[in-house]
């Protein structure tokens, strides 16, 4: 909405300038001219105009979603999430520390299905050059996210939860609660 109003304002401003007798002076702010053999040629849009157009597009293309941060502690294990949740998908970062020493840190992404986030967690194995991918299921309950447990199967060499066995959210390893920042 803001982008539309800004666009209308800019167009109105340019129309008023075109109608005024100072149009040539004002257009010099937005364009560059080159003289060649005594003739003036309009060759490029001025960088100020480019910055103005991109700022309008940037403001208009944002969807208003921001990164949400969560933290969960289970005995000596700690997990933190930084998520961007949209209507149909989510993505972000996840870090799980086991006993303060082993840390699995990587990216999570997946689909939003109602109040459930189902996707994958891809992390680099500690002291290794290889990556591991495991399925992840998070149930939204109020402001919290509950990490579910399920039976893992493989589909085309990609780990997934078996659809025949329901994901268990009653005995979660982690219950994530919102935090201001990580």
pLDDT digits (tens, 9 = 90+) for 10-26: 666 655 555 555 555 55
93/153 same-domain check: yes
Q: In this model, does residue 142 exceed pLDDT 80?
A: yes
pLDDT band at 99 (very low <50, low <70, confident <90, very high): confident
Which of 40, 61, 82 marks a domain boundary?
61
52/72 same-domain check: no
Which of 44, 61, 78 marks a domain boundary?
61
| Strand stretches in 20-174, DSSP E | 31-36, 39-45, 68-74, 77-85, 89-98, 102-113, 116-124, 131-141, 144-147, 152-155, 158-161
The least confident of 45-59, 88-102, 167-181 is 45-59
Structural domain including 34 reads 2-61
91/121 same-domain check: yes
pLDDT at position 147: 95
Domain tally, the chain: 2
138/72 same-domain check: yes
Q: In this model, does residue 57 exceed pLDDT 50?
A: no
pLDDT at position 130: 87
Q: In this model, does residue 31 exceed pLDDT 90?
A: no
175/100 same-domain check: yes
94/57 same-domain check: no
Give the predicted TM-score (pTM) of the model: 0.63
42/100 same-domain check: no
């Amino acid at each position: 909405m803001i982008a539309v109003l800004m666009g209308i304002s800019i167009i109105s401003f340019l129309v008023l300038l075109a109608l005024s007798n100072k149009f040539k002076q004002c257009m010099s702010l937005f364009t560059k001219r080159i003289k060649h053999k005594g003739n003036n040629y309009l060759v490029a849009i001025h960088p100020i105009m480019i910055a103005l157009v991109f700022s309008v597009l940037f403001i208009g293309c944002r969807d208003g979603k921001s990164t949400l941060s969560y933290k969960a502690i289970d005995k000596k294990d700690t997990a933190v999430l930084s998520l961007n949740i949209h209507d149909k998908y989510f993505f972000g970062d996840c870090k799980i520390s086991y006993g303060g020493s082993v840390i699995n840190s990587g990216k999570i992404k997946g689909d939003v299905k109602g109040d459930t986030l189902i996707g994958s967690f891809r992390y680099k194995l500690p002291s290794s050059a290889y990556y591991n991918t495991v399925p992840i299921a998070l149930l939204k309950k109020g402001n919290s996210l509950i990490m579910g447990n399920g039976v893992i199967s493989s589909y085309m060499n990609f780990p997934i939860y078996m659809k025949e066995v329901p994901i268990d959210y009653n005995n979660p390893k982690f219950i994530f609660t919102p935090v201001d920042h990580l």
